[in-house]
A and B are shown apart, each in its own frame.
Chain A
Amino acid sequence: MSALEVEPGAAPESGLVTTDTLDNFDEMSCSLEEIKNENDATQEEETNDNTINEQFDDNGVNDNEFVNADEEFELNKEWIGKSKHVFVLSMAGKPIYSRYGNEDKLAWLFGVMQTLVSFTQSSDDCIQSIQAGNTRFVFLVKKPLILVTVSKTRESESQLKMQLHYVFNQITSILTLTRLNKIYEQRQNYDLRRLLSGVERLIDHLLTFSEMESSIMLGAVQCLPLASSVRDTISSAITGACSKIKNLVFAILLANNKLITLVRMKKYCLHPADLHLIFNLVQASESFKNSESWTPLCLPKFDASGFLYGHVSYLSEDCQACLLLLTVERDVFFTLSEAKQKIVEKLRRSNCLEAINESLGNPGESSASAGFVEIRHYLYKCKSTAQFYQPNLSPPYAQSKEPLIEIYKRAHHRLHNVSRPLKLIFERSANEAILAWDTKGFELFVVFEPLIDTSQAIVLIGKLLNWIKKKEERLFHLNAPTF
């Protein structure tokens, strides 16, 4: 089918953890201790003597108690019609999050969910999912939380479960898993919302992200197209400014949900799932835009037990790319702030800021403008570097992306169906034809015009892969620079 020696986008080394399918989502590494031990064997361990005693009051949570009966009915009608609900509760059945509506009013519903889980657990079993008509109820029991989604979308069980894993990781990323566990060890019926105020926004945003973007489904990230020389200059500006800073683990530059570069400490890679959480945090937090920030951040796949500390800032008023410098030290804000200044100066002098802006302003090539008129859209994922590329949306999907996303989700599910995985799918309907292909090195999903025939499709795929190969230096981040 193709005469390529190496699949497009592949590189000898990757800064991102290679991902294959939906597996190994439970695996988490413990990298923080390792870094600490390695880098400051001499430094004495401090003993933690936290002097803050907190008062416990449950004020501030129950706001809108007063909704009259009419409004409540309206709320219900609208509420029931939502295409996907997501709920998070504690093992004891305490409400933590509901995507729509006020959790307190839904206490009865959380009670039902908790009962279903504990009922199945009592016979040493675990509830997975329930299908009722076109509604799917998917459960994820991940101690100390229970996550449930009620979905009328056509997403598969494993895709929905994946989204629940992401929600769990989002919560972990705010609190760390260690702390989450300890909270419930100490008080089973703790109201976690106290600690998660403001995080609902992040979860809401994450769910929309998982529904509207292909990156979570693919387990990969998209890069901002840049000439490889520009990307290298940016990476070396970062390396130059940061190489002397101890214990800096990752430097990530991103813009518009696309990765510009990732510089890492030797030996450590970033998992795409962690990077998705970072993308989500940056996108959902406008407050980063106005100033430099310093924030604790746990990357659950990297190390769920502790925090990294992040210096977060946008490069400059005239370049809206966001730079994150992640370290294990909690008190080096000013060191990193200085490093950031140096990076920006260097990027300005070497015209990299302009290059970034230019790429951000450019909507990107559609597949038709690249010469593939019969191809409406495609997703190409290189497995070894966990990166993907997609062309700009063009008609008939330019107005509304949902049908396209649905096509991809369906094809992705069939390719990775646990009971019967497929390697190659070609399917034609009245509206479009889809080809999905899973190989050792890449995954490809192509949506064609409906009248295409098989042989034509195969020829086009070969051409497309060659085209991507030719452009790979621009479309992918092929180096995995280290400090």
Chain B
Amino acid sequence: MKHIVGKVVLLGFQGVGKTALVSRYVEKAFHPQKAPTVGASFFTCKVVKEDHIVTLQIWDTAGQERFKAMAPMFYRNANAALLIFDITSQLSFDSIKMWVQELKGNVEESMMLCVVGNKLDLNDQRQVSREEASAYSKSIDATYLECSAMTDQGVALIFEKLAQGLMRLQGLSSTLKIYEDDIMASSSELEATDIANEETVNVSIGSIAHGNTVNGKCC
């Protein structure tokens, strides 16, 4: 059995339900109105698919603007990005586009992109049409899925697609870890998504200024 360990980063505007989505899948629970994520949270989960075990190492990032400068630390060497928006908020959809630009500009390795429209339970307040979102996803070579973290609709499918996507990445990505047997994988799991050798990603004035990048050496 082959074991794949891949790093996944969740990106998206504040309040779109990134944490709700991942905890719905990992913990099988939904916590309404949770406090916003501070920095980033780390989750792992396993998906078994055909003859593969896929371990997802998930970085659930905070959506607030002040944490934006921290994002490269998490999307760097990531094998997949889940770009999440709220179908009832056009603003959150626009924010996805910005993330995609940033990823395209900064990540060289091939990476699976998956756009997710969350809050399907609020379909009657929808602002972003399925057609628009799916056309955009197609244009950037991304999978498009919709779900509701609250009702659990479509959540499992996202993680299955992720696992499939990572399986397809074998041989195309140098950062994806593949082990022929299970023991090796679990022993070196922690190094699998080494985020060392990080370049400057401190939260800096540069990220809020008006186009001018300022050398924001904080510490």
Residues 286-307 of A at the B interface (beta carbon under 8 Å) = 286-288, 290-296, 303, 305-307
Closest CB in chain B relative to A308 CB, distance in Å: 8
**CB of A134 within 8 A of chain B?**
no
For B60, the chain A residues whose CB sits under 8 A away are 291
User: Of A49, A59, A293, A333, which contacts B195 at CB under 8 A?
Assistant: A333
**CB of B55 within 8 A of chain A?**
no
B106, B201, B218 pick with most chain A CB within 10 angstroms: B218
**CB of B27 within 8 A of chain A?**
yes
**CB of A43 within 8 A of chain B?**
no
Closest CB in chain B relative to A297 CB, distance in Å: 8
Residues 234-292 of A at the B interface (beta carbon under 8 Å) = 281, 284-288, 290-292
By DSSP majority rule, is chain B's interface helix, strand, loop, or mixed? loop
For A307, the chain B residues whose CB sits under 8 A away are 202-203, 218-219
The answer to whether A293 and B41 have CB atoms under 8 Å apart is yes
User: Of B14, B38, B39, B207, which contacts A50 at CB under 8 A?
Assistant: B207
> Known: A295-B38, A331-B73. Contact between A48 and B206, CB under 8 A?
yes
For B31, the chain A residues whose CB sits under 8 A away are 286
The answer to whether A287 and B34 have CB atoms under 8 Å apart is yes
The answer to whether B190 and A338 have CB atoms under 8 Å apart is yes
* Interface bits B121-150 vs A (CB < 8 Å: 1, else 0): 000000000000000000000000000000
**CB of B100 within 8 A of chain A?**
no
User: Of A52, A187, A312, which contacts B207 at CB under 8 A?
Assistant: A52
Inter-chain CA distance A332–B204, complex, in Å, is 19
Residue of A nearest to B206 (CB): A50
Residues 160-214 of A at the B interface (beta carbon under 8 Å) = 174-176, 178-179, 182-183, 186-187, 194-198, 201
A33, A36, A176 pick with most chain B CB within 10 angstroms: A176
For B183, the chain A residues whose CB sits under 8 A away are none
> Known: A176-B218, A186-B209, A198-B14. Contact between A287 and B35, CB under 8 A?
yes
Residues 150-202 of B at the A interface (beta carbon under 8 Å) = 190-191, 193-202
**CB of A328 within 8 A of chain B?**
yes
Number of chain B residues whose Cβ lies closer than 8 Å to a Cβ of chain A: 58
The answer to whether B14 and A331 have CB atoms under 8 Å apart is no
User: Of A49, A56, A179, A338, which contacts B200 at CB under 8 A?
Assistant: A49
User: Of A46, A178, A287, which contacts B37 at CB under 8 A?
Assistant: A287
Inter-chain CA distance A50–B71, complex, in Å, is 11
The answer to whether A51 and B106 have CB atoms under 8 Å apart is yes
The answer to whether B43 and A291 have CB atoms under 8 Å apart is yes
The answer to whether B218 and A179 have CB atoms under 8 Å apart is yes
For A133, the chain B residues whose CB sits under 8 A away are none
A interface with B by C-beta (< 8 Å) = 32-33, 36, 45-56, 59-60, 174-176, 178-179, 182-183, 186-187, 194-198, 201, 281, 284-288, 290-296, 303, 305-308, 310, 312, 328, 330-334, 337-338
Could you list some 27 contacts between A and B, CB below 8 A?
Answer: A32-B219, A45-B217, A50-B216, A52-B69, A53-B213, A54-B68, A55-B98, A56-B210, A60-B91, A176-B203, A178-B218, A179-B218, A194-B65, A195-B208, A290-B27, A293-B41, A293-B42, A294-B39, A294-B40, A306-B202, A310-B39, A330-B198, A330-B201, A331-B195, A331-B196, A334-B191, A334-B195
- Report the 4 A-B pairs with minimum CB-CB distance, sorted nearest first: A295-B39, A306-B219, A50-B206, A48-B200
